[in-house]
């Protein structure tokens, strides 16, 4: 029995960051300043704090300016909107990222809507979502953009391929489907109300799983030779009774390996791509704001 290939997202992300690091000095030369990314963190959620710290480190590592704004969980909505407006006006800031989730008393949609779409490096603003949906130049959500980069690297032309995206969230599933459509794939979006998910998945040449349910997609569901992108990040108790936990994806990878042509591992697949694409989006936003042509 042949075993599928493991797609090395970590290595791909490192090479993308390397390309960005090479493009930054060229931008500095042309624009007379560094690209800048502002990250807003509300509250003290440990996972969010870790993400923000690593985003800051990687931003600096590629030669960009990193600005961090930490605010207490008790911040009022108006104060947060004032901060966003300040960052919209700040010439040094090309990208604004508000770390989600926000505390319950804050209207997340209102905060995202307040970000200047030209600085919306998460690609969550309705203007960018609408541009993506209508085939216009847009800042595209980082995780699905990372998935499409891995898919194109693995498969080349995606034209005419049967793609099934499982999950329809605004941050992963829907933009993923739009990106696959833009690459001329034939796209099905599955979700919690989909009947007979196994047979829907079985017809796909490309499976993108963005559900948030540990190892839900079984190996035998996969069409032989299909390419599988596992977006899921799920913490489960360790097999041994150690009291520790480990991270698994939405796909039962060990059994899927006997069926797939290629698959992204969890961790080490899609995850590392997200921050690399965030840096890429910041570079793209910086070029657009400086009136320069989009970088390669």
Is 34 among the residues known to form the active site? no
Q: Which stretch binds ligand NDP (CB under 6 A): 76-84, 92-100, 116-124, 160-168?
A: 160-168
Q: Is 56 exposed, middle or buried (0-12, 13-18, 19+ CB in 10 A)?
A: middle
**Catalytic residue check, 70:** no
Of 19 and 213, CB closest to ligand NDP: 213
Phi and psi dihedrals of 202, rounded to 5?
-65, -20
Could you say whether residue 265 binds ligand NDP (CB under 6 A)? no
Q: How distant, in Å, are the alpha carbons of 93, 170, 171, 236 from that of 117?
A: 13, 16, 15, 37
Which residue is listed with tokens 């965030």?
A: 278
Among the listed ranges 90-98, 163-171, 240-248, 251-259, the one in contact with ligand NDP (CB under 6 A) is 163-171
Task: Supply the minimum distance, in Å, between the C-beta of residue 122 and ligand NDP.
Answer: 11
- Candidate segments 15-23, 199-207, 253-261, 266-274, binder of ligand NDP by CB under 6 A: 266-274
Residue 168 marked in a binding site = yes
Regarding 143 and contact with ligand NDP (CB under 6 A), the answer is: yes
CB 217 within 8 A of CB 251: yes
CB 197 within 8 A of CB 212: no
Q: Which residue is catalytic, options 34, 119, 120, 122?
A: 122
Q: Is 233 annotated as a binding residue?
A: yes
Let me know if 99 is a catalytic residue: yes
Q: Map residue 106 onto helix, strand or coil.
A: coil
Q: Taking CB under 6 A as the rule, which mask of x and - marks residues 102-141 in contact with ligand NDP?
A: ----------------------------------------
Q: Provide, rounded to whole angstroms, the least separation between the CB of residue 170 and ligand NDP.
A: 8
Strand ranges, E, within the chain: 5-6, 36-42, 65-71, 95-98, 162-166, 186-190, 206-209, 227-230, 234-237, 245-248, 262-263
Q: How many CB atoms lie within 10 A of CB 198?
A: 11
Query: With contact defined as beta carbons under 8 Å apart, do 151 and 206 qualify?
Result: yes
Q: Is the peptide bond before 267 cis (omega within 30 degrees of 0)?
A: yes
Shortest reach from residue 275's CB to ligand NDP, in Å: 8
Was 219 annotated as part of a binding site?
no
Does position 166 interact with ligand NDP (CB under 6 A)? The reply is yes
Site size toward ligand NDP, by CB under 6 A = 25
Query: What does the alpha-carbon distance between residue 161 and residue 188 come to, in Å, rounded to a whole number?
Result: 11
Among residues 3, 193, 244, 294, the one that binds ligand NDP under rule CB under 6 A: 193
Nearer to ligand NDP, 183 or 230 (CB): 230
Told to check if 202 binds ligand NDP by CB under 6 A, we report: no
- Tokens (6 digits) for 55: 């985003």
**Interface with ligand NDP (CB under 6 A):** 143, 166-169, 171-173, 190-194, 197, 210-213, 231-234, 270-271, 274
Active-site residues, by number, are 55, 99, 122
Q: Which residues are annotated as a binding site for NADP(+)?
A: 167-169, 233
């Amino acid at each position: 029995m042949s075993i599928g290939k493991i797609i090395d997202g970590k290595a791909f992300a490192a090479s993308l960051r390397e390309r960005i690091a090479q493009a930054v000095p060229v931008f500095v030369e042309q624009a007379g300043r560094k690209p800048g990314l502002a990250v807003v963190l509300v509250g003290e959620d440990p996972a969010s704090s870790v993400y923000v710290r690593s985003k800051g480190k990687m931003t600096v590592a590629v030669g960009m300016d990193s600005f961090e704004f930490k605010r207490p969980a008790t911040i009022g909505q108006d104060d947060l909107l004032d901060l966003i407006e300040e960052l919209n006006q700040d010439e040094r800031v090309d990208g604004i990222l508000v770390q989600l989730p926000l505390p319950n008393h804050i209207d997340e949609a209102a905060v995202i809507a307040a970000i200047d779409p030209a600085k919306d490096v998460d690609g969550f603003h309705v203007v960018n979502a609408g541009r993506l949906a209508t085939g216009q130049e847009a800042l595209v959500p980082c995780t699905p953009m990372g998935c499409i980069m891995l898919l194109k690297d693995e498969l080349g032309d995606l034209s005419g391929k049967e793609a099934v995206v499982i999950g329809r969230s605004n941050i992963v599933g829907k933009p993923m489907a739009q990106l696959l459509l833009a690459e001329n794939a034939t796209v099905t979006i599955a979700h919690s109300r989909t009947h007979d998910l196994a047979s829907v998945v079985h017809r796909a040449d490309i499976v993108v799983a963005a559900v948030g349910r540990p190892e839900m997609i079984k190996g035998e569901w996969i069409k032989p030779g299909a390419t599988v992108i596992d977006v899921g990040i799920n913490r489960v108790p360790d097999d041994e009774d150690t009291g520790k936990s480990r991270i698994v994806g939405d796909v039962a990878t060990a059994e899927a390996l006997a069926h797939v042509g290629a698959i992204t591992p969890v961790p080490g697949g899609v995850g590392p791509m997200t921050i690399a694409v965030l840096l890429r989006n910041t570079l793209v936003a910086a070029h657009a704001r400086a009136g320069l042509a989009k970088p390669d």
